[in-house]
A and B are shown apart, each in its own frame.
Chain A
Amino acid sequence: MQQREVVITGLGAITGLGIGAEAMWQGLLEGRSALAPISAFDASGFPCNIAAEVPDFSAKGYVPKSYRKAVKVMARDIQIAVAAARLAIEDAGLITQDLATDDQTPTYTPDRVGCQIGAGLIACEIDELARALVTSLDDNGSFDHKAWGNGGMDNLPPLWLLKYLPNMLACHVTIIHDAQGPSNTITCAEASGLLSVGESIRVIARGDADCCFTGGAEAKVNPMGLTRMDLANRIAHTDEDADPTSHIRPYDPNATGGLLGEVAGICMVEAMDTATARGARPYAVMSGFGAGHSPRHGNPRERAEGLIAAIEAALYQADTAPDQIDAIIPHASGIKALDDEEAAAFEEIFGDKLGEIPLVTLTPNIGDGMAGAGGAAVCAAALCLKHQSLPARIHPGFPANNLQAGPVNQRDARLDRVLVCSNALGGQNAALVLSAATP
């Protein structure tokens, strides 16, 4: 079967470093970190109170006037996804229903535009739920199901459930932009974003769409998100007096955990043929994608099996040898078990050459974006290839195994191919090879 080539033409990133992929890129070049004490809620009672939050964000400016009412039924994950999608469309120079003026028609017919956006398990707003729950207490002050059924639940807004369904990220994006092609929502924790990119490539390659919104978004900086991730042993316990950037240290044998970041990374990917026909200037070619599953138990090398399978499949599809990879954007969570897995996979694939391949670690800058991480990493990879430049890297500790993850300044570099990978709690892995677009 003939498969179409896929290119990336638009970037939309919303991170702690600011609104837009350019803001993220500038922050990365300068080696800035968005990690800071949590401002969204009083986190002083939690073992971790540092995260990378998106500053000064309001979704209203990113949706059409007629759709502003709907922002009320969007959890923050959805809001940053909708805004990032708008930025990606603008960056790609595409016209969709949202942006079309009276004399303009959308670039693609609606049925040729797909949408694959990864999402997390969205936590409900605590105050809103608690306010309703406390209307339904028994004489001892405990929650009473009978009272809840007898009208207590009416204190929740009618559309309450829809605020938190993971497919609402893609759903709102498809409505705003009239994207009627295949639409999907991948929910595989940290691998969601990159797996979504893989699915978009598959959808375009088989001819079911010419253009897709792709990537993911997640905003876990809320009480339930933070608690869940801490219970799962994925969060560094922080010291209020310490420098906020001192906690996250990928591949350091003394790493104590990750830190959360609010991240939306949405990209526009298009078929090479239709992108060329409209005169688009791609950032990069999506040369190869792979996915694999790791066992949950065993030593790091055994647990790396799924990531190795993913990277090997991506290299194979990209017709690329390991020594042709010029840089890697790993997940680099700062969680020791996951970092060890990643390092074991890289050692297996790149062998002695690994020490020469620069890693672009994003977590010390923007935190762990969870489902949003993969999309943001793809944005960063596209910008590395476009600018032929590697951003600065910050690291407060000492990465193990000769890995190029320690502190370094921005530098120019000859980059033909960049590898992006994600590994998730639960064992899902994804890998993507992006190649420089030939001018």
Chain B
Amino acid sequence: MTAADNTSKPETRIVITGTGWVTPLGDTIDGVWDRLINGDSGVGDIERFDASTFVSNFVAQAAEPDLATILADHESHEGAGPNTRFALSATAQAWKQAGLGDPSKPGQLNSGHPDLNPRRVGIYLGSGEGLLDSDNFFATNVESWDAEARKVDMQAWAKAAYEKLSAVKEIEQEPNMPISHIADAFGVRGPAFNCLTACAASTQAIGEATEIIRRGEADVMITGGAHTMVHPLGITGFIRLTALSSDRNAGGPFSLTRDGFTMGEGAGILIIETLEHALARGATPLAEIVGFGSSADAFRITDIQPDGKGAIAAMTEALDDAGIDPYSTDEAGRPPIHYISAHGTGTKENDSIETRAIKGMFKDNAPNIPMSSIKSMMGHLIAAAGAVECITCVQTIRTGMLPPTMRLNTPDPNCDLDYVPNKARDCNPVGGVEVALSNSFGFGGQNDTLVLRRYTG
């Protein structure tokens, strides 16, 4: 049995009207963008715990936002973990940019915005779990260890756990906490989801948020993601998988000497709504979401399908959704996609298979589509990566500037596309960026693609 082709194309147009991010390069749209165009690095020593002996002892850490300057009702978010703080700050930025008011001023929020019907405002994030309370959790396990029996004494464990663990710190680790805090702060009563599909999570969240609006279940969605895995077991987990870079001077994504990804943390949030709703309230569309595709490799838990089959399936669906022929060119010979935000983690496997997938998808057009990885500057924000990369695509459309892939010093013969190496590129002389595509791939074979287009009325 094959596809039943009895669905019609979506008629509802969805636009992005607000963006906000908290990243290792800062926490304003313009400030971070300047640093990305500059090729700055957000990488430094791990400060949250003593990682001096870890094989990977560097990360790209984000400064924790001071909610007192961001939200009038900051007191009700006092126990929030860093991932939730990142998310709240990014939402406040997006809210302001979308013309919905300043959340730091009293009376603006909680009961919702006068232009918004709370039940028609939803939230869909791809947020990760919160910060593990490592010190107390480790101490609980160590103290209750029965060396003779070679296992934990459960009575001792229970006693230690109830002495040491804090209710707030444990509850705030639940992955739905960022949406809970945001929904509370911004008066959301519509559909609320959080998905956690590893490194593809927030791209998938933005795609499904778009589909919720297309289906008519909401007018406005707050979407994106937030995550930090900068804690001992987060770093340990990826070291054991041999996925992390162990040399901060090693080549960046797509270079021959790349040796893994660098951990980052932060949040990216977008306000999206129907074009009709945006125009009716006088908002300025920053870009239009025209395509979403999602697929599973269904291959192996650790390895990517080597032909990039799953990635191609997601891109094919997204381009089809957008009505874009991947092999077409315009009168000037330009391909139909003007920028690709690569997943570009810097692992041997990802970057070569991603390159293969782009070639398989765009054939002769592939070498002519610039594609870069901002992970070379702000590290890998894991669940939040897709959201900041989607915002990067918005910024390329708004400015015509392409951020570079940094530390791409030694070309890899298996990675022979245009990665905008080491220096930002001004696309305005060739017509700027009309259409941008963002790819995210996650452990477990999750593939998600978004296509954004300039809003021209």
Contacts and interface: CB of A to CB of B under 8 A. Distances in A.
A292 B212 CA distance: 12
Given A42-B154, A207-B7, A121 B192 contact: no
A130 B156 CA distance: 13
A168 interface: yes
A175 B142 contact: no
B300 A274 contact: no
Interface string A111-151: 11001000101001011011101100100011101111110
A92 B263 CA distance: 43
B101 to A, nearest CB: 19
A139 B343 CA distance: 44
B189 A306 contact: yes
A175 B300 contact: yes
Contact of A112 (B3, B145, B211, B444): B3
Contacts of B183: 293, 295, 427
B157 interface: yes
B1 A109 contact: yes
Given A45-B154, A293-B189, A202 B141 contact: no
B37 interface: no
A160 B171 contact: no
Contact of B165 (A158, A160, A231, A429): A231
A396 interface: no
A277 B165 contact: no
B232 to A, nearest CB: 7
B232 A130 contact: no
Contacts of A159: 240-241, 301-302
Interface centre among A44, A149, A228 (most CB of B within 10 A): A149
A286 to B, nearest CB: 14
Contacts of A174: 296-298, 445
B25 to A, nearest CB: 26
Contacts of A278: 1
Interface in A147-166: 147-150, 153-154, 156-162, 165-166
A202 B1 contact: no
Nearest to B316: A111
Interface stretch (A1-9, A20-28, A245-253): A1-9
Contacts of A109: 1-3
Interface residues of A, number: 107
A130 B212 CA distance: 43
Given A73-B301, A172-B301, A424-B176, A130 B51 contact: no
Contacts of A154: 240
A177 B55 CA distance: 37
B160 to A, nearest CB: 10
A437 interface: no
A35 interface: no
A324 interface: no
Chain A CB within 10 Å — which of B156, B170, B296, B444 has the most?
B296
A427 B55 CA distance: 40
Contacts of A42: 154-155
Contact of A181 (B4, B155, B233, B296): B296
Contacts of B158: 43, 45-46, 223, 227
Given A174-B445, A291-B193, A156 B176 contact: no
A273 interface: yes
A187 B151 contact: no
Given A134-B142, A165-B198, A426-B174, A158 B157 contact: no
Nearest to A105: B1
A425 B174 CA distance: 9
B179 A206 contact: no
Given A159-B302, A184-B204, A309-B190, A44 B53 contact: no
A198 B47 CA distance: 41
A46 B197 CA distance: 33
Nearest to B123: A293
Contact of A129 (B4, B141, B162): B141
B188 interface: yes
Contacts of A231: 165-167, 170-171
B294 interface: yes
Contact of A184 (B180, B208, B212): B208
Contact of A171 (B10, B194, B445): B445
A182 B295 contact: yes
B184 A427 contact: yes
Contacts, number: 319
B310 interface: yes
A167 interface: yes
Nearest to B130: A121
A165 B444 contact: yes
Contact of B122 (A73, A188, A291): A291
B215 interface: yes
B159 interface: yes
Contacts of A309: 119, 189-190
B159 A45 contact: yes
A311 to B, nearest CB: 12
B401 to A, nearest CB: 33
A394 interface: no
A184 B313 contact: no
Interface string B52-70: 1111010000000000000
Contacts of A108: 1
B307 to A, nearest CB: 13
A205 interface: yes
A99 to B, nearest CB: 15
B237 interface: yes
B197 A184 contact: yes
A107 interface: yes
B63 to A, nearest CB: 22
Contacts of A112: 1-3
A130 B301 contact: no
Nearest to A429: B192
B214 A1 contact: yes
Nearest to A178: B298
A428 to B, nearest CB: 5
A326 interface: no
Contacts of B165: 227, 231
A195 B6 contact: no
A298 to B, nearest CB: 11
A161 B296 contact: no
A177 B298 CA distance: 8
A185 B10 contact: no
A99 B158 CA distance: 44
A195 B179 CA distance: 14
A189 interface: yes
Given A1-B12, A112-B3, 15 more contacts: A4-B7, A43-B154, A124-B233, A142-B139, A143-B138, A153-B240, A160-B237, A161-B238, A162-B301, A165-B444, A171-B443, A184-B204, A186-B193, A273-B6, A293-B189
Interface of A: 1-4, 41-46, 70, 73, 107-112, 115, 119, 121, 124, 126-127, 129-131, 133-134, 137, 141-143, 145-150, 153-154, 156-162, 165-168, 170-172, 174-175, 177-189, 195, 199, 202, 205-208, 210, 223, 227-228, 231-233, 271, 273-274, 277-278, 290-297, 305-306, 309, 313, 424-429
6 contacts: A159-B241, A166-B196, A180-B310, A184-B195, A207-B6, A223-B158
